Amino acid sequence: VPVIGGGGLRPKPAPDIFLKACDYLNLPGDQCLILEDTDKGVRAARAAGIPFGVIHSPFYPDFNPADAVQKFPTLQAFYNFLTR
């Protein structure tokens, strides 16, 4: 069952969707990694206390949070990270 916005979950930057996903997976947040491409998502990850990585989006060229645990220039780079 995917965890998606709506259904009583507050929208980002509230951490609800990330906390719900952790509950669904039965994992603590420190064993998860959020991949985000927007400031609202990063603020939600921070509020949830879950580590996050960021992926470059051409829509937000200056998006570069210093506290990201990993930064990816493309989805392919993220895929390579996961499969290495």
pLDDT digits (tens, 9 = 90+) for 68-77: 999 999 999 9
Determine the pLDDT at residue 28.
97
Determine the pLDDT at residue 48.
98
pTM: 0.88
Q: pLDDT below 70 — which residues of the chain?
A: 1-2
Determine the pLDDT at residue 65.
95
Residue 60 tokens read as 């937000």
Determine the pLDDT at residue 1.
60
